[in-house]
Structure 1
Amino acid sequence: MAEFEFDETVSLAAAPEVAWDLMTDVPRLTRWISVVHDARELEPLRHYTAVIQDKVGMFKLRAELDITLTGVDEGKRVVAHAEGQDRQVGSRITVDAEVLLEAAEDGTATDVRVHGRYAITGNAATLGSSAIRRKGDKVVKEFFQHLGSETRAA
């Protein structure tokens, strides 16, 4: 099993309401990450599906994810759990994440912290932790780059 943690914070020059609207627009969020495709909202702020697809070493990984928001504190916090598997490659993916928003005292800026862990088991995990870690770091970086540019556009 390859398991990793992530913890990133970005300060946005946006009011908390703007940051919240961006962070809870799941179809938009999934477009920010190049390995995520075909996102579908089954129940707003509760249940989604998406496909994660990428080449990891010699494996072409494609897994349908079931995404559940297990905790939503309006305007402040979202907790998510995603899991899925690629039966052809024989690998399972799980992601647990929490998004926290904290407004600046004057209400004109918002700190967004995303932290959690992801794990890959099975054949794809045999690649070793460095290849999987690089992919995970790339996904987190893409997410925050798009968050910053979307916030400036809003």
Structure 2
Amino acid sequence: MGVSGSGKTTIGELLAQQLGRPFYDGDDYHSAANVAKMAAGNPLTDADRHDWLATLAAHLGEWEAAGGAVLACSALKETYRQTLQGGEQLPLTWVFLDGSHELLEKRLEGRHDHYMKASMLDSQLATLEKPTYGIHIELTNSETPEQVVARIVAQLPARASQTH
């Protein structure tokens, strides 16, 4: 989890490969209306995110029943994370990818194939409620994605790091 530009997809794909689990990107589950709104430079509201989060929560239950998965999702607010956790209290391990404003902005400015633009970073950072649980990874310019994944794997609970 983390704001746009934190590397959720890149790190998530590598982590899923390392763990032998499928990878899913939460962005793929946004409605066309949400994507259009963000592409136009407008932040999503809680109401905009409601159905998206409910869909992801349902899938998380299915993926857990099938042996687990890695999901890249912003999950910016605690209420969003609680929705994703679901009433079943799924055994999720949260990994928060955090970075400086400058690092995140530079990454977003380098992306040209994504609807999320650098101009929306401030709104995401304003919405972000940093979790006080799970794995917190402070991003730097000097680490490769593989090094970040190695740090995550080293901190995963035994159950989460078991490959299938």
Shared fold, TM over 0.5? no
Which protein has the bigger helix share?
A: 2
TM-score (norm 2): 0.30
TM-score (norm 1): 0.31
Which protein has the bigger strand share?
A: 1
